[in-house]
Amino acid sequence: MSEEINPIKEYLFEYIEKSEEIVGLIAEKKFDVIINKIIENCYDKIILMDKKEEAIGVLATGILHYLLTNALLNSQRKIDHNGIELDIVIPDVKTLEKDAKMTLLIIIPKSSDKKIIEEKIAKLTKIQPVKENIWVVLSENIDIDYKTFVLSKENNSFAKIIFEIAQFSNVGRANKFKILRI
């Protein structure tokens, strides 16, 4: 069964394919610059394609999928785990089941309704008890008690997400190796 074609994803990946600059930036691992270029060049068109929160959710998911693959960071996306839909799991569900401290859940709620976002987080806390390992990607700054990244033209904190994911992954691996050395 193939994933349904989404015009926002199509537009995003078409932009990436046509941009020679992005290929060069991938080689240089300048993921923050890539995210900023994509937002600069695609944001206005994409938010006209759907409700703002939906459009930004699809854009964020597409960017993360593309960059996590190119950064060679293990991840799974759009996973159903015990009846709970997980947007992005790093590194994977198997690690989540074995050791929640080593697993990052990134949620992209496609809503700016604080109540809906908090309900989604509440479901995730049942399978990811480590609060610091639940990150939220938003279309606007909403005051919630979790680490958030905002994907917007102004105050775009989303550009830092790949570096923070890499940092999380490296710290996790380092801890595993420390345990093995003892």
**How many C-beta atoms surround the C-beta of residue 67 within 10 A?**
22
Q: What is the mean pLDDT of the chain?
A: 89
| Domain-embedded: residue 1 | no
The pLDDT of residue 68 = 93
Element (H, E) at 147: strand 147-150
119 Cβ partners below 8 Å, 6+ apart?
none
Residue with tokens 């699809």: 58
Q: pLDDT tens for residues 47-76?
A: 999 999 999 999 999 999 999 998 888 999
Token pair of 176, please? 């595993």
pTM of the model: 0.88
Can you give the residue range of the structural domain that contains 43?
7-181
164 Cβ partners below 8 Å, 6+ apart?
135
- The CATH number linked to 95 is 3.40.91.80
Token pair of 103, please? 């697993």
| Domain-embedded: residue 2 | no
CA separation (Å) from 89 to 29, 73, 79, 121, 128?
21, 11, 8, 14, 11
| Domain-embedded: residue 162 | yes
42-60 burial code (b ≥16 CB/10 A, e <16):
bbeebbeebeebbbbbbbb
Domains contained in the chain, number: 1
Mean pLDDT (whole number) for 21-27: 91
| Domain-embedded: residue 47 | yes
The pLDDT of residue 127 = 95
Angle of the 31-47 helix axis to the 7-18 helix axis, nearest 10: 140
- The candidate with the shortest Cα–Cα distance to 63, out of 109, 32, 105, is 32
